[in-house]
A and B are shown apart, each in its own frame.
Chain A
Amino acid sequence: MRIDGTHKKWLVASLIILSVATTVYVLYASNSVTGPRGGSAIGLTFGIIGSAFMIFSGLLAARKKVEVWRLGRAQSWMRGHLWLGFLSLPMILFHGGFKFGGPLTAVLMVLLILVVASGVFGAALQHYLPKVMTSEVPFETIFEQIDHVRAQLLAEADELIARASAPLKLVAAAPSGDLAATADSVLAADDALAPLRTFYTREMRPFLENSGERKQPLADAERARGIFDGLRRLLPAGTHETANNLEEICEEERQLRRQVRLHHLLHDWLMLHIPLSFALLLLGCVHAVMALRF
C-alpha cells in the first residue's frame, strides 16, 4: 500500500494520540513514587490501549480470510493496521515504563519490536517497490506462474533453434542430382549456424534452465546486448530474426528473475511479521491473565 495523501487523516490522528500519550506518560513518570509500573492505573490504561491496537492490527488477517464481510473497506483496515499497529509500540513502552521486566514481558517486548520494525520495513517496501516493478518489469506475471512461464520460454527457445535448423534438414533431405554440391551446401549452411547452436547450448539454454544462477553473462542486460550483437555478426542475415527472438526471450527471463527478487523483497518480511504477530497476540493474552494473578 502506498502511503500517500490519503493517509493524512490517519497521520494526524496518530500524531495527536502519540502526543497526548507522551504528555500523560511524562507527567505520570515524573510524579510516580516508585517509577512507572504496568500495574498502576495509568500503566494499565496504556497496556489496554496498546493491546487493543495490536488486536485490531491482528484482525486484518481475519478480515483478509473472510473478504465477503461487510466490515469497512479493505483499504481502511490496512490503514488502521499500519497506523494503530505502529502506535501500539509506544503505548506498550509506556505501559512497561521502558523496561523489559521479566522473561515473559521481555519476550513480548522483543516480539513487539520485531513485529513493528518488520511492519515498518514492509510498509516502506510496499510504498516504493510497486513503482519499481511497473517500470522495470513490463513482462510482470503472476508470481506463482513464473516457473510455468519460464518453462514455456525454454520450450519457445528450443523451438526457435529447431526452426532455424529446419531449412538445413530440408536441403539435406531434398533429392538432387549433384550430391557433392548438395553436400557442400549443407555443410556450408551447417557451418553458418554453428555459432548459434554453440551459443544456445553453452550459454542461453543453461541461462534459461538455471534461474538461480546470477553470474551468467546473459543475466546482465548490457553484456547480453554485446553477446547478441557479436552473434548476429557471425550469423547469416537470414538467421538474425531468430537471434532477435532469442534476445527477447532472454530479456523476458531477466525480467522474471527481477520480478522474483522484487517479490521476495516485497513479501519475505511477512515470514517474520505474521508468525511473530500470532505469537505476540497469544503470549500477550497469557501476560494479561497472569498479570491479573500476580
Chain B
Amino acid sequence: MPRTKLTTKKLAQRIDMHYFKRPHPLRRWRTRLSILVPVLAIVWVGWAALTRNDRVYSSGKMSAGHAVLSARCGECHVKEAGSFSAKASDQACRACHDGPTHHANQKFTPNCSSCHAEHRGHKHLAATADVNCTQCHANLRAADGPTQFVIHIEGFGAAHPEFAALRPGSVDPGRIKLNHAAHLKAKILGPNGPVQLDCEDCHRTAASNAAWRFGAVQPAMKSMPAEMDPPSRVSARAYMSPILYAHNCIGCHALQFDKRFQESVPHDKPEIVHAFVVQKFEQYIATHPAELRVEGPARNLPQQPMPPAVRVLAPQQWVAERAAEVEQLLWRKTCAECHSLSLSAGAQLPAVAKSNITPRWFSHAVFSHDAHRFLKCLECHTGASKSQESADTLLPGIQTCERCHHTGEEAAESRCFECHTYHDWSKEKPVKGMLTISHSRRGS
C-alpha cells in the first residue's frame, strides 16, 4: 500500500495549530539575551557611577605627564556648583602649571587645550602641532602694531629665516682674541711639550665634571651669567659654559711677570694685578736689599744726561721701577695676547674691554648640545678649524640643522616645539603642590 500522498492539505493537517503559543527555544534565548546584554551594560555603567569611577567615560589614554592622574578625572574636569558640565578648564591646568604668556602684545591667547590636546595617548603634551604656532607666525601681527620679528614663518624648512647671528652684518661680538685654527693645529706648544687640542678641552657644558686637561684646580665651574641663563627648563647639559681662563687657558698661557718669581699675576682687573705686583716686589726687596744697588744702562741714550754707572735706590723707588717694567710687559704683551686694552691719557692703568663672550646664540630658541653629543663638533661647527678671527661666527647655519631635522619618517623632529617654547618661562610663577601620591592614584 503506497504512503499517503502529501498534499498541501495533508501537510497543513500535520501542523499543530497552537504552536505559536509556545515560543521556540531559539526565540526564547534571543529574548533572554536581548534583555541580559543591555542589563549587563547598565550594571557596568551603574557600577562605575556608584564607585564614582569616571574613567569609564575617558575619551582616551592620558599623556605621559598626566598618566598618574588617570584615575583622578575631577582634578582637571572641575564641576561647578549646580552645573552638569565638568569640562577641563584653563584654570584647572593652572592649578599645577603656570603657563606664562608668550608675548605681552600678542593678538590673542589660545586655550591650553587648543595646543595641548589631552586624552590622545601616552605622548608628550608639549609636542604641539606647527599650526598652533603658524596661525600667528605665518602672518605675524602684534596687538599694538608692527612687530620687530620676522613676519612670515611657516615652519622649519618652510620660510624659516636664517638664524639672527648668521644674517648679513652680524659678527661675533666677543672681544677675546682667539684664533681657533691656531689652537686646533697639531703639535702646538703645551705646558709639557707639544699637544693636540680637542674642542672639549675648552668647550664643556655646566654638567661636565671631568678634569680640565689644561686647567687649574678651581672651585666648581661657573655657569653662564644670570642674564644669559637658558630657559629654566633647559638641562645643564644643554649649553656650553663660558670660557674661563682658569679652566681653559692657564695651562699654556701662564701669566708670569718676572724671573724672580715662580707665581703668575692673578687673572683679574689691572688694579688687582698692579697691587699684586707691587706687593710681590715689596716683599722681595725687603729680603734682598742688595738689589737696591742697580747698575746703569749699558749704553748712552742720545740727548739724555749721562746716567751714573751704578745707582743705589730707595726700596719704594726700586719697587716702582720694577713694577713699571713688569706692567709694560703685561699690558703690552701678556694681557694683550687675548684682551683689548686701552690706556687713556693720564691714566696709570689700562682699561680692559669686556670679553663679551656669547654663551647663548639663540635668544628665542633652545638648543641642547647633550642631545647632539653623538656628533663630532666639527660636523656642525665646520668653520672652527679654519677660523682665525674672533669676529667669525662659528654657529652652524640653518642648513646644517636641516640635514637631519626635516619632515619624513627617517628624520629628526622638525616641528616648532623642538626648538621654540611658547611660554615665557622666565616669568613662570611657582606653583604650590596640592596632591599626594596616594590621592593621585585613587579613583575620582
Contact = CB atoms under 8 A, between A and B. Distances in A.
Interface in B65-107: 73, 77, 84-88
Contacts of A142: 15, 19
A282 B38 contact: yes
B294 interface: no
Contact of B45 (A37, A264, A286): A286
Given A104-B57, A143-B24, A293-B84, A241 B2 contact: yes
B437 interface: no
Contacts of A276: 37
B55 interface: yes
B56 A103 contact: yes
A155 to B, nearest CB: 11
B14 A152 contact: yes
Interface in A241-294: 241, 244-245, 248-249, 264, 267-268, 270-271, 274-276, 278-279, 282-283, 286-287, 290-294
Interface stretch (B25-33, B224-232, B314-322, B354-362): B25-33
A34 interface: yes
Contacts of B37: 275-276, 278-279
Interface string A31-73: 0011101110000000000000000000000000000000000
A104 B41 CA distance: 10
Interface of B: 1-3, 6, 11, 14-16, 19-20, 22, 24, 26, 29-30, 33-34, 36-38, 40-42, 45, 54-61, 73, 77, 84-88, 114-115, 117, 119-120, 129, 131-132
A141 B11 contact: yes
Interface string A152-189: 10001000100100000000000000000000000000
A163 B19 CA distance: 31
Contacts of B57: 102, 104, 287, 290-291, 293-294
B14 A283 contact: no
A275 B87 contact: no
A282 B41 contact: yes
Contacts of B54: 294
Contacts of B55: 102-103
A148 interface: yes
Nearest to B60: A101
User: On chain A, which size bracket covers the interface?
Assistant: 35 or more
Interface centre among B6, B30, B38, B57 (most CB of A within 10 A): B57
B41 A148 contact: no
A149 interface: yes
A33 B114 contact: yes
Nearest 10 A/B pairs, CB to CB? A102-B58, A34-B117, A275-B37, A245-B3, A275-B33, A290-B57, A279-B41, A33-B131, A278-B38, A144-B24
A287 B84 CA distance: 14
Contacts of A99: 60
A287 B24 CA distance: 35
A34 B111 CA distance: 13
B26 A267 contact: yes
13 contacts: A33-B114, A34-B120, A102-B56, A102-B58, A103-B55, A142-B15, A149-B15, A244-B3, A268-B26, A275-B30, A278-B37, A279-B38, A292-B84
Interface of A: 33-35, 37-39, 99, 101-105, 139, 141-145, 148-149, 152, 156, 160, 163, 241, 244-245, 248-249, 264, 267-268, 270-271, 274-276, 278-279, 282-283, 286-287, 290-294
A275 B36 contact: yes
A101 to B, nearest CB: 5
B119 A102 contact: yes
Contacts of A35: 117, 120
B41 A283 contact: yes
A292 B42 CA distance: 19
Contacts of B26: 264, 267-268, 271
A163 B1 contact: yes
A254 to B, nearest CB: 15
B59 A294 contact: yes
B20 A283 contact: no
A249 B2 CA distance: 12
A144 to B, nearest CB: 5
B86 A294 contact: yes
A150 to B, nearest CB: 10
B36 A148 contact: no
Nearest to B42: A282
A74 B374 CA distance: 72
Interface centre among A104, A275, A290 (most CB of B within 10 A): A275
B38 to A, nearest CB: 4
B86 A293 contact: yes
A180 to B, nearest CB: 31
B19 A37 contact: no
A291 B26 CA distance: 37
A165 B430 CA distance: 106
Contacts of B132: 33
Contact of B85 (A33, A38, A163, A293): A293
B33 A104 contact: no
A102 B61 CA distance: 7
